[in-house]
A and B are shown apart, each in its own frame.
Chain A
Amino acid sequence: MASTHHVEQPVVGPGHTFVTVTDKIASIVLQKKTPLGWFFGFAISFSVLMMLLATLTWLVAKGVGIWGVNVPVGWGFDIINFVWWIGIGHAGTLISAILLLLRQQWRMSINRFAEAMTLFAVACAALYPIFHMGRPWVGAYWLFPYPNTMGLWPNFRSPLIFDVFAVGTYATVSLLFWYVGMVPDLATLRDRAQNRGAKILYGVFALGWRGSARHWNNYETAYLILAALSTPLVVSVHSVVSLDFSVGIVPGWHATIFPPYFVAGAIYAGFAMVLILAIPLRWAYGLQDFVTMRHIENMAKVMLATGLVVGYGYMMEAFTAWYSGNTYEKFLLVNRALGPYSWAYWSLILCNVVVINTLWVKSLRTNVPYLFFVSLVVSVGMWLERFVIIVMSLHRDFLPSSWGNYRGTVFDWSTFIGTLGLFATLFFLFIRFLPAISIFEMRTLLPGAQPREGKA
């Protein structure tokens, strides 16, 4: 890619120097007056977060029966949302790690908030496995392998334990990655902050960073290694999540194609969410010079690519169902297309297969409002995908006598919308108090940042 730079639009707008870059980004946090819009948005998301709090309180008081789950459909919105959030949580690390290893410099202006988005999405996701349990007060720690008076250990054959390890590791590593990446910028904020309180606070988190050559030496190596570690990790996480289903014997779950197809879906949903956040952000804070059309279009391309993989996944599911001749799989296919929840299946196809293919057209791909719309459609589509996989597989499985129906209750919805509130709240705090774009990495992109060749 590096070779083709000249034909592509630049990744930083013209006329920027170290000073302007630093000012523009740092001032969002330090000097600029917080725009009214921020307070407005924060107020809304915070009140939604309070609704989540109320719902979870009632949930723990009364039991998961306030949700729509039943037998046979033992999982509903809870696990749908868990998988949905985890999926969204993939783009961040992917952009930071894989694109870093691939030397995709355009990533630099979006990786910081993409990583933040990852963390917040994982935080939202993590709520569900805990609160979907009948007895969260014990489940929250019985799932971890700790020596206990019962002498009992987790069952390491269970995909849910895989989840605990995978999601736990993923959250930790993403946090480290995000924080380490931010240390030099925190130093910048420390050195620029006027207000003493801010100086101290940023100073503490900057760990006394001086930008010494020795620091940079270890720093670059460590950062690269973290990237190298995160790459298999990001692939593993959603593969593991997909095992929750493919390890089960339920028709519609028991499929070997799940891991790759889940990972693709995750990146797909993740990039959609990055766009949903980046487009308003660059507009609100006038960051068009840093998050340029080139970024937008590249992300659109990634979405298109992964979208096609996902579409292929649907195709293969249908094909294997027909080709295997397996009674249950065949029925599953029919039930998806014609059963009581066929509306979900067909809207899924519309969202994830039909709409995404319009991005082949460059004019649409580079039309920001349209791209924003497509991203929303994709997010909905990916939610429906999990609905189809979880609910539609369970509601009619092996014994026809035990078939049932499922419908989310008002509490299912308030929990779901509540986590959206949590996500938004965290994100608002992030853009207000931390540099949303990596300053020092932007510097390296400026003309004259790297010494001329042939020296020394």
Chain B
Amino acid sequence: MSRPAIYGLLAEFHSADAIVEAAHDVHAAGYRKLDAYTPYPIEELIEALHIGRSRVPRIVLAGGITGLLAGWGLQYWSSVIEYPLNIGGRPLNSWPAFIVPSFETTVLFSALAAVVGMLALSGLPQPYHPVFNVPGFALASQNRFFICVEATDPRFDREGTREFLKGLGAVEVTEVAH
């Protein structure tokens, strides 16, 4: 399909209450290609937009299991199979001692998975994004709240949607260039 003229419409709000309310209505109105920008996390907003639970935990679990196996495997392989040595009369497989490093590798891999997963799922790092073109958007990281309806949404209509957003009490609605 042909690329729309603009990226979408950005509606600015001044309070958490306002934006949460607006988000409900926008979603109710059937808009799906939506996003909201706030200076700090707001649980209700995430519910309002029906974003759903994050998939980070699953990635972390995978990372943790990998770490455990890698840690234990390394120790067992190197001290029992690869280069067996009699150290202080201890058995080659001194499993009680191996617990500690295994634990640490588990935590390490999990933590790395958590961060990498979080960034990947959020599409970060992402140096350029159309919303940055809106002058006022800088305040999104300080004290303003925004909802963006993207032009690719089937129900999107440059004029209609603008009016609709205004109706929701947006302080200002601006077009977002690509």
* Residues of chain A at the chain B interface (Cβ within 8 Å): 17-19, 22, 145, 151-157, 161-162, 165-166, 168-169, 172-173, 176-177, 180, 184, 187-188, 190-192, 203, 207-222, 225-226, 229-230, 232-233, 236, 240, 243, 440-441, 443-444, 448-452, 455-456
Contacts and interface: CB of A to CB of B under 8 A. Distances in A.
- Residue of B36, B74, B100, B103 with most chain A CB atoms under a 10 A cut-off: B100
A162 B83 CA distance: 19
Contact of A165 (B42, B105, B122): B105
Given A153-B79, A217-B54, A169 B16 contact: no
B117 A191 contact: no
Interface stretch (B1-9, B136-144, B151-159, B168-176): B136-144
Contacts of A153: 78-79, 82-83
A171 B148 CA distance: 39
Interface string B7-38: 00000000111001100100000000001111
A456 B111 contact: no
B29 to A, nearest CB: 14
Nearest to B41: A216
Contacts of B41: 216, 219-220, 440, 444
Contacts of A176: 111-112, 114-115
B115 to A, nearest CB: 5
B17 A451 contact: yes
A17 B56 CA distance: 32
25 contacts: A18-B142, A151-B82, A153-B79, A156-B78, A156-B101, A162-B104, A165-B104, A172-B111, A184-B141, A208-B127, A211-B37, A212-B37, A213-B36, A214-B35, A215-B122, A216-B41, A216-B45, A221-B53, A222-B56, A229-B111, A229-B114, A232-B107, A451-B16, A451-B20, A455-B44
Given A165-B101, A188-B141, A451-B20, A218 B121 contact: yes
B48 A440 contact: no
A141 to B, nearest CB: 16
Tell me the dominant secondary structure on chain A's binding face.
Answer: helix
Contacts of A145: 74, 78
A448 B41 CA distance: 13
A156 B111 contact: no
Contacts of B87: 155, 157
A156 B97 contact: yes
Interface residues of B, number: 71
Given A240-B100, A440-B40, A450-B42, A226 B122 contact: no
B47 interface: yes
Nearest to A150: B83
Contacts of B54: 217-218, 220-222
A17 B143 contact: yes
A225 B122 contact: no
B42 A451 contact: yes
Interface in B72-128: 74-75, 78-79, 82-83, 85, 87-88, 90, 94, 97-98, 100-101, 103-105, 107-108, 110-112, 114-115, 117-119, 121-122, 124-128
Given A192-B138, A211-B39, 9 more contacts: A156-B94, A157-B90, A168-B108, A169-B105, A191-B141, A216-B42, A218-B56, A236-B100, A456-B21
A190 B132 CA distance: 12
Max count, chain B CB within 10 A of own CB: residue among A221, A240, A452: A221
A364 B144 CA distance: 43
Contacts of A222: 54, 56, 114-115, 117-118
Max chain A C-beta neighbours (<10 A), residue from B85, B108, B117: B108
Nearest to B64: A229
Contacts of B104: 162, 165-166, 168-169, 236, 240
A236 B107 CA distance: 11
Contacts of A173: 107-108, 111
A156 B79 contact: yes
- Interface core residue of A161, A215, A230 (most chain B CB under 10 Å): A215
Contacts of B56: 218, 221-222, 225
Nearest to A444: B40
Nearest to B28: A456
